[in-house]
Amino acid sequence: MPLILIPFGVFFACCCAQFFLWRVRRAMVERHPDVWREISGKAWFIDKAVSRFAWKRRDKGLNDPDLTRKVKELKIFGVVTFSAWLVYAVMLVTGLGLP
């Protein structure tokens, strides 16, 4: 596998993570507008507010299995995205990605 594909994999993972953030945000707006107003009113960046909501597991208190499933998917893909960035950073620092 050519090592040049790693940055493209990182970009793809970030794009997919945005899709998962959008799904959680949409579910919150539709089914829990009061919680959505609370977290979005305090946030400077909406995606950061949704990420913080997911990582702090505030979805558990809402008793919404569909939202909890979407938050789990977001967290799993967040770990995959972070791992891809980490591999890319290690390759840049160590020079493994150079021909």
pLDDT, tens digit, 9 for 90 and up, residues 49-94: 888 888 888 777 788 888 888 888 888 888 887 887 788 778 778 8
Residue 18 is predicted with a pLDDT of 82
* pLDDT at residue number 99: 60
37/31 Cα distance (integer angstroms): 12
Residues with Cβ within 8 Å of 74's Cβ and at least 6 positions away in sequence, in order, are 17, 20, 21, 23, 24, 51, 54
**Mean pLDDT lowest for which of 1-5, 41-45, 46-50?**
1-5
C-alpha neighbours within 13 Å on the C-beta side of residue 16: 17
Amino acid 49: pLDDT: 82
With tokens 């499933």, the residue in question is 69
